[in-house]
Amino acid sequence: MTSEVSVRERVWRVLAAPFLVLGLASTLAQAQVDPRGPVRTIPTPHFRVHFRADSGAASATLARRVAGLAEQAYQQLSRELAPPNGPIDLLLADNVDFSNGFAQVFPTNRIVVYAAPPIASPELRFHDDWLRLVVTHELAHIFHLDRARGIWALGRRVFGRNPLFFPNAFTPSWVKEGLAIHYESQATNSGRAVSTEAPLVAWAAARDQALPPMSRWSLATSRFPRGQTAYAYGALVMQRAALAAGDSGMRRFVDATASYPIPFLLDRASRVGFGTRFSSLYQTMRDSLRAFAQVVDTAGDARWRVISTEGWFAESPRWVGRDSVLWAASNGREVTGLYVADIRETGSSVRVARRNALDVNVPLGGDSTVFAQWDLRDPYVVRSDLYAGRGANEQQLTRGARLTQPDVRRDGAIIAVQITTAATRLVRVARDGTVVPLRQDAATGTWAEPRWSPDGLRLAAVQLLPTGEQRVVVIDTTGAVQQIVSGSRAVFAAPAFTPDGGRLVWTSDRSGRMQVETAPVMRRGAPVDTLRWREPRPDVRVASDVSTAVYQPSVSPDGRQVVALLYRVDGMHVAVTALDTLGPIARNLWYTSEGVSSARVGALQADSGTERPRADRASVGGDESRAYSAVRQLWPRYWLPVVGDGRLGQSTYGVSTSAVDILQRHSWVASVEQNPTLREWDASAAYRFAGFGLPLLDFSWSQEWDATFRVVDQRRTELGSIARRRRFATVSSTFSRPRVRSSVSGNVGAQYELRDFTATTDSLLGAPDALLRRGTRYPQLFGGLNWSTVRRGALAIAHEEGVVVSASTSYRWREDAPSTGSWRSVVTGRAYVPLALPGFSRHVLSLRGAVGVADRRTATEFSVGGVSGVAAELLPGVSVGDPARTFPLRGVVSGAQRGIRALGASAEYRAPVVLLRRAPAPLTLFADRISLTLFSDAGRAWCPGSLAAQESSAGLCERPGVRDGWIASAGAELVLDLAVQYDLPYRLRIGGAAPYLAPAGIRRGGSVYVSLGSLF
């Protein structure tokens, strides 16, 4: 019998293969859209803009503006690059509380934009219109990746939008992202190509003599700043290349990589496009950075005393008392948590609680805090809410309120930022969760990082204006602006009052690097000053001179010290220094009111002398929307050749195709194969409907010729053969309740199997009413449940903490003989225990157990043995790795034992070995880290004695005394985490194992193997 799971794997693998080849699917929830609810579409000359219709007129207005921005970006990019083929689907989503977007060219060109403004991302804060920026960036990906010329264009004509024929998708992500960042800045005169964050990554690496070579610019790197490495260095190199070659250089480069049979020969394409090799551009950049590192003044760094021992990612240090600070951090070794340290002792930090995300934690005295963190409300919606914490205990204050960056007044009054569609606003939050907005005028811009004054009568905040300017302001408790303290076309962040309320401290990057600035503010009762600021102001002083950057300052209770985050090559470090109010006057050296300063090395060229369209004119007038339809997106756009194995070992040949709409509401996959020798057809089709959100509904059908039975007489003379064909119809329903800290999922379904037979001689099928001639039918019911609390640090070599329990069961019977019904059940459990041993990540003790039980009437046995892992289809018909096995036993062949009872257990000790800094990169491979696993597996499969002795059970059970007993093996694996095609992560396991306990008939010689993925 073929189980329901194997049928679904067979029909869905065709849909998954293209995304494996191209690597176009994003990670985590970033790539998840909400398929539920009414959706409408605005058609434009080049786009179909989709938006949710249940959010009122504001969503339609915003969608029309996005449609206008998209058309303007299309016209701008069309002057630079060859336009893509066909209309582009663009979905405006608002189901997550973080800023992002992604583009896909398979199966059709499509863009998803999340509308939340990037107030928490320094690298994205420099913009005048977030939607314009993200739309331009993602559209640049479409222009780039859709391009195909020469043999690739011919392949596209023959195979359609086959994912194998998108040559520019095979280039590394630093090229893709660098190109898109170049155009996001060229079109908007803002963005990452002209911000200070991309150079900062390179400056910090040069300062600490740790510049990575180009082969290390992978999205899969575990080193800080992880995926931002590809963005930052890609932006620097692609910007240099574009500026050196002029307006047409980027188009020549894109066309070159789109026409070469080997598109990742980048130096060759770079010479054609830019007149120089990427390697030469990198050498020039490296030399200039090294020269900078030799002359950079680090005297300002020495004034800071670092109190944290680990870098990586951190957020918002705050004073707990005169001598202690707390902050949220993700140090890579553990999941994100809250840390407290005594500033008088370096390395005294202690982890006191877990957090779901990096956000502000406001100390309330003792071990109490108020903080914001996000969680999943369902599989599609991520929302940020406020919590009250006392030590490791938490109480959720709001639900689905979309709140971030809180601050708490002495009397307990809470101010926070509320995320709305494409905007933010300041709100008051009561302890019962009631939310009251301070400001409701969207024309005043986006708001961020509010802080109470010591007397509780004023607030400091950052205001991001639609003009691209940012300013630090003081407002009253109603939201009215009292004073504009400072501002410019630059990034301003994290204003905080001194304890006497007479001064503000914040950070700004207008000098070229994010530095602390300070200025006096009006005292209570002083005249209100809402006049425009004039810069430079003599009372605005620079209070730091760090060679890299400093973030999130907070003033000590006595007003004498500042705690902040220092940027280093290995991440953010919590540090303190004396508050300097007499530094130099703050001046705009990096940006001007007209845009990027002319002093900026590699400044942007003008956009062909044309006026850049203003955001308020970027809209499509009228109400041209119509009801959403997925029909066009679900039409097959490509086909893949499929090669398989027939029932007698001959090859089968066929095709497959699939489609999914941008909402992921409908998806389908189909394939058909023929055995030309026997003229037999195998086929499969599956459809998923996600329009309800939950449950997901799956429908599938498949047919396969899978077995041949040779018929012999008593003299062993072969009389002919009988072929078996099996057809399956399956319907299932899947539900899930995902959360950051735990998840529950399950499925229920039914399957109907029809078996029929053909023979070389008709008489072999028996009498007219014989079972073989009539065929057999097997209904089946099945279900499963999974519960998990596992977690891992970002640098972890495997799951590190928590447990997973899974259970599945099925009941199957023959339609004409219900009494022959049989059931089988499997329960597995996994547990992970971290060990406090040295290394780049924690050592882990991992345990796994499995139990399988079937009744005596079952038609399928359990088997013990073989290597378990992940089978990956790198190309259609080309698979590597091993399938997942319920009862693996390394060092023993698969199917070494079989029976209707099975037990299995594994114990692994996993240890980190090295986090690679430099490694060879043959064939576009990126090696990230190496770990070692020592293990022991044990298992046994058997049948009850009476059943094993029956002749009818020969296909399920071993004969009594044959290979009967426990098998146990031990061995070791060297585990390499790497990336294929530069950026697609894989886990390669090279291992050896041998049995140390085995019954007669089991080979004890052991084996060496190579597999993909983890055992569990």
* Residue 737 CB neighbour total at 10 angstroms: 15
The pLDDT, as a whole number, for residue 731 is 98
Which of 54, 42, 20 shows the shortest CA–CA distance to 89? 42
Phi, psi angles (nearest 5°) of residue 330: -120, 100
Amino acid at 313: F
Helix (H) or strand (E) holding 415: strand 414-420
Instruction: Give pLDDT tens digits for 519-535.
Output: 999 876 555 555 445 66
Q: Which of 22-26, 353-357, 728-732 has the lowest mean pLDDT?
A: 22-26
Instruction: Give pLDDT tens digits for 170-200.
Output: 999 999 999 999 999 999 999 999 999 989 9
Rounded-to-integer distance, Cα 522 and Cα 854, Å: 79
Rounded-to-integer distance, Cα 75 and Cα 607, Å: 12
Burial letters 686-712, b for 16+ CB under 10 A, else e: bbbebeebebbebebbbbbbeeeeeee
- Quote the mean pLDDT of the chain: 89
Residue with tokens 């009122």: 56
The pLDDT, as a whole number, for residue 752 is 98
H helix count then E strand count, the chain: 14, 52
Judged against a pLDDT cut of 70, whether residue 370 lies above it is answered with yes
The pLDDT, as a whole number, for residue 21 is 35
Judged against a pLDDT cut of 50, whether residue 612 lies above it is answered with no
Judged against a pLDDT cut of 90, whether residue 875 lies above it is answered with no
User: What's the pLDDT band for 944 if we cut at 50, 70, 90?
Assistant: confident
User: What's the pLDDT band for 711 if we cut at 50, 70, 90?
Assistant: confident
Instruction: Give pLDDT tens digits for 972-984.
Output: 999 999 999 899 9
Residues in CB range of 610: below 8 A, 6 or more apart: none
The pLDDT, as a whole number, for residue 945 is 75
The pLDDT, as a whole number, for residue 877 is 57
Instruction: Give pLDDT tens digits for 96-113.
Output: 999 999 999 999 999 999
Cis previous bond, 437, omega within 30? no
Instruction: Give pLDDT tens digits for 765-792.
Output: 888 888 888 899 999 999 999 999 999 9
Q: What's the farthest any 2 CA atoms get from each other in the chain? A: 114
- Give yes or no for a contact between 95 and 377, defined as CB atoms under 8 angstroms apart: no
Between 423 and 603, name the one with better pLDDT.
Answer: 423
As given in the structure block, the two tokens for residue 156 are 């596209």
Q: How far is CA 361 from CA 88, 328, 337, 592, 836, in A?
A: 42, 7, 11, 34, 27
- Give yes or no for a contact between 666 and 634, defined as CB atoms under 8 angstroms apart: yes
Average confidence (pLDDT) over 700-718: 88
The pLDDT, as a whole number, for residue 56 is 78
Distance of CA 675 to the CA centre of its chain: 40
Instruction: Give pLDDT tens digits for 121-178.
Output: 988 999 989 999 999 999 999 999 999 999 999 999 999 999 999 999 999 999 999 9
As given in the structure block, the two tokens for residue 355 are 């957090």
Cα(first)–Cα(last) distance of the chain, in Å? 26
Rounded-to-integer distance, Cα 592 and Cα 572, Å: 29
User: What's the pLDDT band for 570 if we cut at 50, 70, 90?
Assistant: very high
User: What's the pLDDT band for 29 if we cut at 50, 70, 90?
Assistant: very low
As given in the structure block, the two tokens for residue 49 are 């803009």
Residue with tokens 């204050």: 397
The pLDDT, as a whole number, for residue 28 is 34
The pLDDT, as a whole number, for residue 66 is 97
Instruction: Give pLDDT tens digits for 467-498.
Output: 889 999 999 999 999 999 999 999 999 999 99
The pLDDT, as a whole number, for residue 4 is 32
Rounded-to-integer distance, Cα 996 and Cα 936, Å: 10
- Give yes or no for a contact between 565 and 550, defined as CB atoms under 8 angstroms apart: yes
Residues in CB range of 698: below 8 A, 6 or more apart: 8, 686, 687, 688, 730, 731, 732, 733, 734, 749
Average confidence (pLDDT) over 232-241: 94
Average confidence (pLDDT) over 506-529: 83
Judged against a pLDDT cut of 50, whether residue 614 lies above it is answered with no
Average confidence (pLDDT) over 1000-1008: 89
Between 418 and 601, name the one with better pLDDT.
Answer: 418
User: What's the pLDDT band for 812 if we cut at 50, 70, 90?
Assistant: very high
Residues in the chain: 1016
Q: Which of 154-168, 597-611, 689-703, 878-892 has the lowest mean pLDDT?
A: 597-611
* Residue 534 CB neighbour total at 10 angstroms: 6
Rounded-to-integer distance, Cα 110 and Cα 927, Å: 31
Average confidence (pLDDT) over 354-370: 94
Average confidence (pLDDT) over 740-746: 97
The pLDDT, as a whole number, for residue 524 is 63
Which of 511, 516, 555 shows the shortest CA–CA distance to 535? 511
What pTM does this model have? 0.92
Judged against a pLDDT cut of 50, whether residue 918 lies above it is answered with yes
Average confidence (pLDDT) over 312-339: 95
Q: Which of 435-444, 553-562, 839-848 has the lowest mean pLDDT?
A: 435-444
Judged against a pLDDT cut of 80, whether residue 439 lies above it is answered with no
Judged against a pLDDT cut of 80, whether residue 31 lies above it is answered with no
- Give yes or no for a contact between 739 and 714, defined as CB atoms under 8 angstroms apart: no
The pLDDT, as a whole number, for residue 599 is 38
Instruction: Give pLDDT tens digits for 633-651.
Output: 999 999 999 998 888 888 9
Between 1013 and 604, name the one with better pLDDT.
Answer: 1013
